[in-house]
Amino acid sequence: MEQLKTIGRELAMGSQGGFGQSKEFLELVKSIGESRSKAEEDRIVVREIETLKRRIVEPEIPKRKMKEYIIRLLYVEMLGHDASFGHIHAVKMTHDDNLLSKRTGYLAVTLFLNDHHDLIILIVNTIQKDLKSDNYLVVCAALNAVCRLINDETIPAVLPSVVDLLSHPRDAVRKKAVMALHHFHLKSPSSVSHLTSSFRKKLSDNDPGVMGASLCPLFDLVALDPNSYKDLVVSFVSILKQVAEHRLPKTYDYHHIPAPFIQIKLLKILALLGSGDKQASEHMYTVIGEIVRKGDSSSNIGNAILYECICCIASIYPNAKLLEAAADVNAKFLKSDSHNLKYMGIDALGRLIKISPHVAEQHQLAVIDCLEDPDDTLKRKTFELLYKMTKSSNVEVIVDRMIDYMISISDDHYKTYIASRCVELAEQFAPSNHWFIQTMNKVFEHAGDLVNIKVAHNLMRLIGEGFGEDAATADSQLRSSAVESYLRIIGEPKLPSAFLQVICWVLGEYGTADGKYSASYITGKLCDIAEAYSNDETVKAYAISALTKVYAFEIAAGRKVDMLSECQSFVEELLASSSTDLQQRAYELQALIGLDAQAVETIIPQDASCEDIEVDKNLSFLNGYVQQSLERGAQPYVPEDERDGMVNVSNFRSQDQHESAHGLRFEAYEVPKPPMPSKVVPVSLSSSTDLVPVPEALYSRETHQVSSVGASETAGSSELRLKLDGVQKKWGRPTYSSPGSSSSNSSSQNPANGVTQMDVATVVNSKSRDSYDTRKQRIEISPEKQKLAASLFGGSTKTEKRSSTSNKIPKSSVSAADRTQESKAAVVPSEVSREKTNRQTPPPPELLDLGEPSDTVAPPTLDPFKQLEGLLDPNISTSINHSGAAVTNTPDIMSFYAETPASRESGSGGYNIPVSGDNVNLLSELSNAAARGTTEETTMTSLPQSVKGPNVKDALQKDAKVRQMGVTPSGQNPNLFSDLLG
């Protein structure tokens, strides 16, 4: 009986006028329909491909046959097999004069090719010809292809013809032409930018279909730049009004609703135009109110319109009445039994609470219901809503819920997403540190491999730094609670690597700090970890570092260290490790144990993880030695790459040459100089302040150069420029001025600097007394300022954290304005952080007995905001930095830093931005990793969800599932015969 029915169907279809498929094709379709497994289906398809490959190249195939082959190819490709060998034949078919073949050819190419396929170039000519055809069906077929295949390179070839078609007598053609232009706009907005007026004209086309189509490009144009289309608000509103009043032909009614799709599109456009514009919004209130009032909430399409109304109301300038109406509609959605409507209701609620937060209150129960619904889609949408609703008062509940859900799901893609959300919320709203650490522990435990490693680093930093609060006891309590919780967690099997790293680090730093646990206990635990995860080198590295620290603290405290046997074997294992990093760490540990308490304490002081290391790249501590050697008549060192360029320079001037080899300085010091390096001390003392004009000139030139480079670039580079300014403010000045202060107190001189000062001293006459005094004043203030800056820094990192995390960059729709703002903010902490660096830099030992008040900690008296302003203002900031450098007594480093970018800048114009920008990076990284971490993290979190595909495991699972589905034969499937609408 079934069989008969099938045959009957086939007969019916044949007579209905298929393309005259042959028996072969019918059988192919049938056999695939009856195949019992994916493998069988694949076999059939592969056989079919072989046949087609053979047949399609035969000479003189009748057109009808060829058409069928092409359709068979389509079928094969639809089933997921490669039929690229036939693409060229489809292209050939579009050249055919017979409309029927042409149409099939166009269908095939639109399905086979995408817009960057090599064969496109062969079709463009045909399309051009067909667009000019007399037969409107040919034109339609060509326009269909245009909408799929034309890319930004080929747009110019067809654009004129398409524009001509905008005034074609047939509405179908006009409509498709508008859509084609819409497609061009998506591909390359500039290509059709001169056509916006014709889009506006099409809005008043006689045919509603064309008008509806013109809304698509207009929507995109408005989305890009709402301000230039404000004049259309009135027209849109009047069209919407007419549509809602049934003025369009009855054929546009859909389930008794007048042209709902056009209404929705119009509402979308109005939402964009009215956003934040009171005047434009006022035009819309009446018509939207009318639509909401008349809205039909019984049908699906009616609800679609109502939902769009809510979105529009939430987007335009708020109106109390409309908001109320929207809230009522939303209540209906949420109370509905339909999951779809609940979903829409939750989504709409998320939009409404942005404007009137109290709306959510009456729906609490409905939201909770949705949260507990077994439907994942609904649940996720609800989490999205909760995420938007999170405040510091409810964060605990929400994050707990999220974590519970995160544990329960297996979809890695979403797990990553929700984990990052948890981290974000916890960082933003954590009510207590204890809670924060507990939460992070949970996140790490269950999704440790999925979260960004930055999060782990942030956590370590947080525990290490404490919370910037005064109470040191709170910090130590926090640490011991962290240690305790980690000791508890260690026992659990299969912890993620990132989490183990955190555990090891915390145990190493603070395991023995409160004296509750003995060193041997902690080291034992650490060895356990290393043993249990012996194939993870990073964890092992963390473990051995932690061991080193624990032992170092023991030694420093004067206790005798006896290594556990397991530790010893662990260390021995690492000594022979193939990883050089592990080996080095092990050797360091071994060496350290042999040292005495005092040395160890200097090497690894307790609880100093957040102090910054100043790396003296220029070996300034050797300056004294170098000076002595020079005095004894040694030749000064000249860097290798500069040795060639000074062949004909006299021996004595070689020092200057060495100096001027850095391109930027070369021009500034052309005046002859008396060669008296030994008299440096008194002269430089006075001259250092007078140097000001010279570096100033240099400085402005530098900025100018940089800005001219950056001018042509986009917002990204302007950000760079901002940072760069910071660098120059910071590094430009102290180069010249700071040696003065150090030279006044110490006899050890950097020869290079000495020369510089002296040179300038001769150029600029010394009226240094008074300026030196002012400078001295500054020096006296500076420790306070620095202290302030440091405390501000703590504060500013916090605010920075907030602002950056709450910006929700993942939406990826951050406007350019936002970005510049952000970048501005980013400059501040890096500046401040540099201050901090300076402050923390330990002064070289020989300078410790200075009269300078470098170590006095005066109470902060300055307005912190002024300080900040000062940091941003070049004039003031230079003075601050200048004095800051003087106090810290690290002029050499500064000067060399300044030289490096300068010399590179002279080297290549393109390179200078990254180099100097990099300096900012370097420093902010040193002392501001926390703040930076969060900003970076926000960008990173957005990354995985867009870039990361589902992993292999997931795909395999799903594949298996599909195969399972495919196993059931569909040949006798009665379902095939049931009407789709029945």
Partner 1 sequence: MITKPVGVVCRKTLVNRVTRLWLWLWLQLQLQLRALIRFEMIQFVLLISRQGKVRLTKWYSPYSQKERSKVIRELSGMILSRAPKQCNFVEWRGYKVVYKRYASLFFCMCIDQDDNELEVLEIIHHFVEILDRYFGSVCELDLIFNFHKAYYILDEILIAGELQESSKKTVARLIAAQDSLVETAKEEASSLSTIIAQATK
CB 387 within 8 Å of CB 425: yes
Asked if residue 100 binds partner 1 (CB under 8 A), the reply is yes
CA distances from residue 765 to 412, 660, 683, 684, 693 in whole angstroms, order as listed: 71, 21, 11, 12, 12
CB 203 within 8 Å of CB 235: yes
Judged by CB under 8 A, the residue of 377, 598, 708, 861 near partner 1 is 377
297-316: contacts with partner 1 (CB under 8 A): 300-301, 303-304, 307-308, 311
844: number of CA atoms within 13 Å, CB side?
20
Asked if residue 172 binds partner 1 (CB under 8 A), the reply is yes
Helices 874-888 + 715-732 axis angle, to 10: 50
544-563: contacts with partner 1 (CB under 8 A): 545, 548-549
Residue number, 444 or 505, with CB nearest to partner 1: 505
Judged by CB under 8 A, the residue of 87, 89, 175, 479 near partner 1 is 175
405-424: contacts with partner 1 (CB under 8 A): 413-414
Q: Which amino acid is at 953?
A: K
Contact mark string toward partner 1, 744..783, x via CB under 8 A: ----------------------------------------
Asked if residue 437 binds partner 1 (CB under 8 A), the reply is no
Asked if residue 929 binds partner 1 (CB under 8 A), the reply is yes
Asked if residue 917 binds partner 1 (CB under 8 A), the reply is yes
Closest CB 114 distance from partner 1, rounded Å: 4
Asked if residue 88 binds partner 1 (CB under 8 A), the reply is no
Residue number, 144 or 627, with CB nearest to partner 1: 144
Helices 433-447 + 497-510 axis angle, to 10: 140
Asked if residue 256 binds partner 1 (CB under 8 A), the reply is no
CB 123 within 8 Å of CB 107: no
CA distances from residue 144 to 103, 105, 165, 182, 758 in whole angstroms, order as listed: 10, 12, 13, 13, 78
Contact mark string toward partner 1, 688..727, x via CB under 8 A: --------------------------xxxx-xx-------
End-to-end CA distance of the chain: 21
Closest CB 836 distance from partner 1, rounded Å: 14
Residue range at the interface with partner 1 (CB under 8 A); choices 287-295, 806-814, 845-853, 874-882:
806-814
Q: Which spans in 764-890 are helix H?
A: 768-806, 816-840, 864-872, 874-888
Pick left, alpha or beta for residue 317 (phi over 0 → left; psi -120 to 50 → alpha; otherwise beta). beta
819-858: contacts with partner 1 (CB under 8 A): 819
Asked if residue 542 binds partner 1 (CB under 8 A), the reply is yes
Asked if residue 224 binds partner 1 (CB under 8 A), the reply is yes
877-916: contacts with partner 1 (CB under 8 A): 914-915
Closest CB 58 distance from partner 1, rounded Å: 18
CB 65 within 8 Å of CB 76: no
Asked if residue 34 binds partner 1 (CB under 8 A), the reply is no
Joined tokens for residue 624? 């004294």
The SS3 assignment for 254 reads strand
442-471: contacts with partner 1 (CB under 8 A): 453, 456-457, 460-461, 464
Residue range at the interface with partner 1 (CB under 8 A); choices 427-435, 512-520, 654-662, 805-813:
805-813
184-223: contacts with partner 1 (CB under 8 A): 186, 189, 208-209, 212-213, 216, 220, 223
How many chain residues are in contact with partner 1, going by CB under 8 A? Answer: 166
Phi then psi dihedrals of residue 316, to 5 deg: -80, 180
Residue number, 326 or 685, with CB nearest to partner 1: 326
Closest CB 614 distance from partner 1, rounded Å: 10
Asked if residue 597 binds partner 1 (CB under 8 A), the reply is no
Asked if residue 925 binds partner 1 (CB under 8 A), the reply is yes
Report the alpha-carbon distance of residue 216 to residue 269 in Å, rounded. 9
Q: Which amino acid is at 335?
A: K
Asked if residue 336 binds partner 1 (CB under 8 A), the reply is no
Asked if residue 596 binds partner 1 (CB under 8 A), the reply is no
CB 199 within 8 Å of CB 211: no
Closest CB 680 distance from partner 1, rounded Å: 32
Asked if residue 182 binds partner 1 (CB under 8 A), the reply is yes
Asked if residue 229 binds partner 1 (CB under 8 A), the reply is no
Closest CB 88 distance from partner 1, rounded Å: 16
CB 847 within 8 Å of CB 745: yes
Asked if residue 227 binds partner 1 (CB under 8 A), the reply is no
Report the alpha-carbon distance of residue 795 to residue 468 in Å, rounded. 8
Report the alpha-carbon distance of residue 501 to residue 504 in Å, rounded. 5
Residue number, 464 or 783, with CB nearest to partner 1: 464
Q: Which residues pair with 258 in a beta bridge?
A: 253
Closest CB 454 distance from partner 1, rounded Å: 9
Asked if residue 951 binds partner 1 (CB under 8 A), the reply is no
Closest CB 285 distance from partner 1, rounded Å: 21
Residues 6+ apart with CB under 8 A from 635: none
Residue number, 320 or 980, with CB nearest to partner 1: 980
Residue number, 46 or 224, with CB nearest to partner 1: 224
Instruction: For residue 882, give the nearest of 688, 647, 715 by alpha carbon.
Output: 688
Residue range at the interface with partner 1 (CB under 8 A); choices 253-261, 469-477, 667-675, 831-839:
253-261
Cα dihedral 576, 580, 582, 587, rounded to 10, equals 70
Closest CB 579 distance from partner 1, rounded Å: 13
Report the alpha-carbon distance of residue 952 to residue 954 in Å, rounded. 5
Phi then psi dihedrals of residue 335, to 5 deg: -85, -10
Asked if residue 619 binds partner 1 (CB under 8 A), the reply is no
Instruction: For residue 283, give the nearest of 329, 242, 232 by alpha carbon.
Output: 232
Closest CB 43 distance from partner 1, rounded Å: 15
Asked if residue 82 binds partner 1 (CB under 8 A), the reply is yes
Asked if residue 618 binds partner 1 (CB under 8 A), the reply is no
Report the alpha-carbon distance of residue 207 to residue 198 in Å, rounded. 15
Q: Which amino acid is at 502?
A: V
Report the alpha-carbon distance of residue 476 to residue 482 in Å, rounded. 10
